[in-house]
Chain A
Amino acid sequence: MAALQEKKTCSQRMEEFRHYCWNPDTGQLLGRTLSKWVWISLYYVAFYVVMSGLFALAIYTLMCTIDPYTPDYQDQLKSPGVTLRPDVYGERGLEIFYNVSDKTSWKDLTQTLHTFLSGYTPAAQEENINCSFEQYFIQKEFRAPNHTKFSCKFTADMLQNCSGLTDPNFGFEEGKPCFIIKMNRIVNFLPSNNNTAPRVDCTFLEENHKDFTPLEVDYYPSNGTFSLHYFPYYGKKAQPHYSNPLVAAKFLNIPKNKEVIIVCKIIAENVSFDNPHDPYEGKVEFKLKIQK
C-alpha cells in the first residue's frame, strides 16, 4: 500500500484553490462554467418551486381539514393552568417581595394589576352580556351578532375591595395585598360534571409553616368561585370578546419580614393540581415577603 498523498505546500494549495475559483483555461467559475451555473441554478429554482408548491398544498389541505372553532385534539391540555397577578418571576418561580414603607417597591406590582384589570372595565366588556344564572352557559347555536356566541361580562368591580376602584393600592400599602388568580382557558372545558363552581383555595404551604396560624383570606367574588356561566369557553372565533373570570384573594395575616410560600389551588372536579412535572397546572405557588 503506498504513496497517494503528495505533500503540498501552502502556496500550491492556494494556487489550486485560486484555479478552482476561476479557471481561465476553461472559463470555469468554482468548477462550472457560467452557463452550467445558470442551468443548475434554474434546475434548483424549479425544483424548489415545485417543492414549495407541494408543501403549500399540503399545509392548505391541512388547514381545510381542521375545525375552525375547536382544536382536533385537546389531549395535551386536559387540566387548565393557573396564573397569578402580579407576576414577578425570580430564580425559582413567582417571588413577590416588597417593603410596605417603600412605595417604589410595590408601585410596579399595583401597576401590573391596574394594567391587567384594564381589560375588565365596563367599556372593555361592553360587547358581553350580563349573566347571573350560575349555570353552564351551553350555546349550541350561534345566536350572537356576526355568527358568534355570547360571552358573559366580568367586570373589575366584581372584585370589590380588590378591584382597584376603592383601593388603588390593592392593599399593598397596609400589608394585606390582593392577588388576582386566573384560570387558563380551554375550549369546551367544563370544570365539573355537576353544578359546583370551581373555587380558589389559598393556604400557606403546610410543611414549612406548621407553627403558623392558618392563612386568612378574603376572596372576591365571595367564596372565591368562578361562576359557572363563564363556562364552557367556545374558542376565539365563537367568543371573540370572552374574558376569563377572575378571583381575587386578599391575604390578611401575612407575617412581616418573613418569606412565606403560599399555594392557591383550584378546587373542582375536573381540575387536577398534582401533576409532578407542571407546577402551574390547577394551582399556583408563590413566595411572598413583606417587609416593614
Chain B
Amino acid sequence: MRAAEILARDGPNVLSPPKETPEIIKFLKQMIGGFSSLLWAGAVLCFIAYLIEFSKDKSASLDNLYLGGVLIVVVILTGMFAYYQEAKSTNIIASFTKMIPRNALVIRNGEKYEIPAEHLVLGDIVEIKGGDQIPADIRILTSQGCKVDNSSLTGESEPQFRSCEVTHENPLESKNIGFYSTTCLEGTATGMVINTGDRTVIGRIASLASSVGHEKTPIAIEIEHFVHIVAGVAVSIGIVFFIIAICMKYRVLDAVIFLIGIILANVPEGLVAAVTVSLSLTAKRMAKKNCLVKNLEAVETLGSTSIICSDKTGTLTQNRMTVAHLWFDNEIYQADTSENQKDQIFDQSSATWTSLSKIVMLCNRAEFKSGQESVPIMKKIVMGDASEAALLKFSEVVMGDVIERRKKNRKVVEIPFNSVNKFQLSIHETDDPNDKRFLLVMKGAPERILEKCSTIMINGQEQPLDESSVKAFQDAYMELGGLGERVLGFCHLYLPEDEFPDNYSFDVESMNFPTSDLCFVGLISLIDPPRSTVPDAVIKCRSAGIKVIMVTGDHPITAKAIARSVGIISANSETVEDIAKRLKIPVEKVNKREAKAAVVSGMELKEMSPEQLDELLANHTEIVFARTSPQQKLVIVEGCQRQNAIVAVTGDGVNDSPALKKADIGIAMGCAGSDAAKIAADMVLLDDNFSSIVTGIEEGRLIFDNLKKIIAFTLTKNIAELIPFLIFIIAGVPLPIGTIAILFIDLGTDIIPSIALAYEKAESDIMNRKPRHKKKDRLVNHQLALYSYLQIGILQSVGGFFAYFTVYTVQGFKPDLLLYLRPLWENDSLNDLEDSYGQEWTKYQRQYLEWTGYTAYFVAVMVQQIADVIIRKTRINSVFQQGLFRNKYIWVGIASQIIIAVILSSGFGSIPVLNFTTLRIQYWFVAVPYAIVIWLYDEFRKLLVRHYPGSWWDKTMYY
C-alpha cells in the first residue's frame, strides 16, 4: 500500500527520455523550412494576382487561384512526406532503445515478489544475484561475494566487491552502494532502494548529457547552403525580371505572374522528397550492415568523418581474454588467438607441456554454464573471471573434456585467488591409480610464483633453478609483458606420499602443506586479441585519409601492443620512446617531429594545455591514448574538433555520453553499450565491430556523392524551366511552358529518376580520397552549379526551344514572326491573328497551340532529362565503366519518365487546368539529338577529367 503511495509520489523507476520536440512542431518545420517558404510566397503571389484581377473584373479567370491552390497542396504534400519519412526512421531507433522489460525481486511484507523494475520505490528491499542488472540505486544490506561491474559508470573495468560497510564518504567510492544499471557479476546481495529513476546517479548523469545541445549536422548545413543558393538565384532573377518587366511597360499584374513563374521554375519541388528518401534508403542499408542510424543526416556525417576515436575493448578487440603465448622449456610458443582458436600449432609433445596443461586445467575455478553441449566451445558461457575463462576454454580446445578430467583428479582443497597472496592454489588426487601422491598446483603473478620455486621443469625434467634459468624467465616475462599481455606463472609439486597419506587432512587456514620449493613449469600470457577484421578496416581508413585514434582505459603497454597489431600504429613508425630506446638517448632529446606515433597516458593528458594537445594531434598521425578516463574522452574530442576535423567517437559507458554528444557523430555499442550511451549517440553499432564503422563511412561517402548527383540532376532542368520565362519577357514570344507543366516535371517525371540515383553504386575512388573538408568541399559547389545551370541546363533549354519552335513552325508560326508577337498573341479581343502563311487564328485556337507548345517543351525536357539521369550516374568514371545496367532503378526511373509523359500527352492531361494536348509522335524525337549531345559532351568532360587530374579542366568541370 505504502509502495503504491510512494510510486505515485516519485513516479516510476525509469530514466525519463530526453525531451522530444513536439510532433506538431516537427511537422510545421517541414512545412515552412527550405523551399516551402518560397512556394508559400509563390502561392501568396498567386492569390494576390487573382485578387487584383478579381477587383478589376468580377469574372476574372480562376487560373491563378488554381495555381495558388496547387502550390499549397504541393507544399503540404511534400512536407507531409518528409515528416512521414523522418517519423518512420525515428521509429526504427525508438523500437530499438525500448529495452526488454526488466524485473526485480523485491521483498515486501516479508514475502518475495517479482515485479517490473519500474515499479520499485524508495525503501524497497531487493535481492540481486550474479548476472542481474541492479534495478535502482541500492544500499547493500547483506552480501555474499557480491561483485559488480561499474564500468559503465566509472570506467573501471575491474569487477568490484560490494559489501555492507561504508568505506568512503563519497557514495560513488563507497563499497556499500550498488548503482542503477550496473551489473552484478557474481555473488548475491540484498539491498534497500535509496534512489529511483532520474534521481539515481546514472539518471543524473544522463540528464546532464542530454543538456549538451544537439547542433546542426553537416548535411543539414549543406542542404541549407544549397537552399540559400537556389533561393538566392530564384529571388534575384525574379526581382531583376520583375523590374525589367515593369520597365518594359508590362502591367504590374503580369509582372507578378512572371515572378511566380520564375520562382516556380527555380524551386526544385521534388528535391526534398528525393533527398529524404535516399537518406532513409541508406539508413536501411546501413542497418543491414549493423550500423543503426538514429537520425538520417548522421549517415552523411559519418562519410565526412576525418578522425575516429575508437575504444579498444570490444570494438577493436574481441572483448574476451584469450591465451596468446606460452613459455616453457625456455621457449615462447604462440597460441592461436583468432575467433575460433582452431589451429594451436605449438609443440605439444614435450613432457613439460603435459604438466603445464594439467596445472592449467586443475588450478582453475571457472566452469561452463550447464546446458550448452551443442554450443561451440568459444561461444560457451563461462562462470568465472575473464582470465580463468580464457584458460578453461584454451584447455578445453587443446585437451578436450576438462570437466571430466577434473572429476578424475578430485580436488581436495583450494585457496582462491586474492589480491594479497596473488596466487591461486589447489591440491588434487591424481588420476593415476598407482600414484597415491597428491598434486599441488598453483598459478599467479609470475614473480610471486617464482619466489616459491626452487626447481624448474625443462623437457619434463626437474632442474635446479639456477641463475641462467631465472634470467631466461625474466627475459620471457619482460617480453610477454612488453606485448601488453597479462602473464601468469604456473608451478606444481607432487607431495611426498609418506608425509601426506591418503587420509591427510589439509587445512587452508593453517596451510599445513608446503608452499615453497615448488617446481616452476611455465608461463602463459593472456590478451584480449584484436578482431580479425579490424586490421583491414584500419588500412581502409588510412587510404581514405581517416585518422584512427585509440582511446582506452588500459595500460599503455597493452594499448600500444594492440594498436600495433591492428595497424593503428603501423609497423614502421615509432613513438618518441621507441626512438629514444633505439638511439639510446634520453627521451627529452628526441626530435618529436620524427615520431609518427604517440602513446599518451591519461596522466600526461591531464598535464597538457589545450595548445599542447593541439600540437600533439597535429604532429602525430598515429595516436594512442591509454589509461584515460571517460571524461578525458571529451577533452580529446574537443581537441580533434579544434583541428577542424569531423570526429566520430565510440563509447559504451554512461560517462561516455558527453563525449558522444560532443562528437560530430557519436557511435554507441549495441551489445556492450549502456542505454545512456545509446541515447546520446547518433549511431548504434549492433555488432560492436570497428569495421562496421568503416563500412558506415563508405556508405556515408556514397550518399554524399549520390546526393550531389541527385541535386545536379534536379538543378539542371530548372534552367530549362526558367529560360522560357526570361525569353518570354524579353523577346515577347508566346509562353513556351506553363507553370503547371513545370510542376509536372518537378513532381512527376523527375521524382523517380532522382530517387533512383540514390541506388547508384560507388565510383572507384570512393575510399581513396581524403575526407571532405567541411568548409571547402560543399555539397553544391560552384562547379556543380555552373555545370548544371550554365552548360547542361542551357543545352536543355536550347533543345526545348527547338521543340517549341518546331511545333509553332509546322503549324504556321515561323520563329521570326513569334518575336515580340506576345501583345497580339495574348490579346483576348483579337480573333483573326495572321500567321506566317496568312491564316487567321482566333484566341482559343492560339491558346490551344500554346498548350501544344507547352506539351512539346515538356516532352523535350523530359527526353533530355533521360540523358541527364544517365550522365549523372557518374561524376568521373565513364558511364560505361560504371555499367549502364548495373543500377536497375535508373531504368525504372527512365520508364516512369516516359510513361508519365505519355499519359499526360495522350489525353489525360487535357483536363482543363492541366493544359496538356495530344502530341504528334514525331515531336517526341525533336529533342533526341540534344539528348545525345548532352551525353557525348558529358562523356568528353569525364574523359578529360580522368586524363588530366589537377588541370584547369579538372578544377572547373569536376563537381
Contact = CB atoms under 8 A, between A and B. Distances in A.
A236 B812 CA distance: 11
Contacts of A17: none
B805 A187 contact: no
B838 A185 contact: yes
Nearest to B828: A89
A55 B801 contact: yes
B215 A48 contact: no
Contacts of A143: none
B832 interface: yes
A236 B836 contact: yes
B217 A278 contact: no
B839 A2 contact: no
Contacts of A66: 809-810
Contacts of A63: 809, 814
A280 B844 contact: yes
A79 B925 CA distance: 29
Interface centre among B810, B920, B933 (most CB of A within 10 A): B810
Interface residues of B, number: 61
A235 B920 contact: no
A14 interface: no
Contact of B664 (A4, A77, A281): A4
Interface in B805-855: 805-806, 809-812, 814-815, 828-829, 831-832, 834-845, 848-849, 852
Contacts of B920: 73
Contacts of B894: none
Contacts of A142: none
Nearest to A89: B829
A2 B664 contact: yes
A175 interface: no
B612 to A, nearest CB: 22
A61 to B, nearest CB: 10
A105 interface: no
Nearest to A90: B829
B794 A91 contact: no
Interface in B75-90: none
A74 B920 CA distance: 12
B809 A1 contact: no
A184 B641 contact: no
A10 interface: no
Interface in B199-247: 214-218, 221
B710 interface: no
Contacts of A185: 834, 838-840
Contacts of A54: 798, 933
Nearest to A284: B831
B845 A81 contact: yes
Given A51-B798, A55-B801, A92 B59 contact: yes
Interface string B626-656: 0000000000000001000000000000000
A72 interface: yes
Interface in A136-172: none
B832 A182 contact: yes
A87 interface: yes
Contacts of B218: 4
Contacts of B139: none
Contact of B840 (A40, A48, A72, A80): A80
Interface in B790-812: 790-791, 794-795, 798, 801-802, 805-806, 809-812
B774 interface: yes
B919 to A, nearest CB: 11
Contact of A281 (B59, B795, B828, B842): B842
A241 B459 CA distance: 126
Interface in A257-282: 275, 277-281
A32 to B, nearest CB: 9
A76 B839 contact: no
A277 B802 contact: no
B677 to A, nearest CB: 14
Contact of B57 (A3, A76, A87, A91): A91
The secondary-structure label for the interface of chain A is: loop
Interface in B37-71: 57, 59
Contacts of B794: 48, 51
B810 A71 contact: yes
A142 B211 CA distance: 92
Interface in B453-499: none
Interface centre among B666, B682, B829, B852 (most CB of A within 10 A): B829
A135 interface: no
A187 B790 contact: no
Nearest to B937: A47
A280 B842 contact: yes
Contacts of A87: 829
Nearest to A84: B831
Contacts of A237: 837
A62 interface: yes
B215 A3 contact: yes
Given A63-B814, A91-B59, A1 B682 contact: yes
Given A51-B795, A71-B810, A76-B852, A5 B215 contact: yes
A106 interface: no
A1 B810 contact: no
A187 B839 contact: yes
Nearest to B666: A1
Nearest to B301: A1
A39 B952 contact: yes
B717 interface: no
B214 A236 contact: no
Given A1-B682, A43-B956, A51-B798, A76 B829 contact: no
B815 A76 contact: no
A281 B844 contact: yes
A4 B844 contact: no
B527 to A, nearest CB: 35
Contacts of A235: 837-839
Interface centre among B795, B815, B839, B952 (most CB of A within 10 A): B839
A70 B836 CA distance: 10
Given A1-B665, A91-B59, A71 B216 contact: no
A186 B839 contact: yes
Contacts of B836: 236
Contacts of B666: 1
B663 interface: yes
Given A1-B215, A1-B666, A76-B848, A184 B810 contact: no
B838 to A, nearest CB: 3
A184 B841 contact: yes
B298 A59 contact: no
A59 B803 CA distance: 10
Contacts of A62: 802, 805-806, 809
A40 B838 contact: no
A49 to B, nearest CB: 12
A2 B215 contact: yes
Contacts of A182: 832
Nearest to B790: A44
Nearest to B836: A236
B662 interface: yes
Contacts of B791: 47
Interface in A32-60: 39-40, 43-44, 47-48, 51, 54-55, 58-59
A54 B774 CA distance: 40
B913 to A, nearest CB: 13
25 contacts: A1-B217, A1-B663, A2-B214, A2-B663, A39-B952, A51-B795, A51-B798, A71-B810, A71-B835, A72-B811, A76-B852, A81-B831, A81-B841, A81-B845, A91-B59, A92-B59, A185-B839, A236-B837, A239-B838, A277-B848, A278-B844, A280-B831, A280-B843, A280-B844, A281-B845
Identify the 4 closest CB pairs spanning chains A and B, nearest first: A236-B838, A81-B842, A184-B840, A89-B829
Interface of B: 57, 59, 214-218, 221, 295, 297-298, 301, 641, 661-666, 682, 774, 782, 790-791, 794-795, 798, 801-802, 805-806, 809-812, 814-815, 828-829, 831-832, 834-845, 848-849, 852, 920, 929, 933, 952, 956
Given A4-B218, A280-B844, 20 more contacts: A1-B301, A44-B790, A55-B802, A59-B802, A77-B812, A82-B831, A83-B832, A91-B59, A92-B59, A184-B831, A184-B840, A185-B834, A187-B838, A187-B839, A236-B837, A237-B837, A239-B838, A277-B848, A281-B842, A281-B845
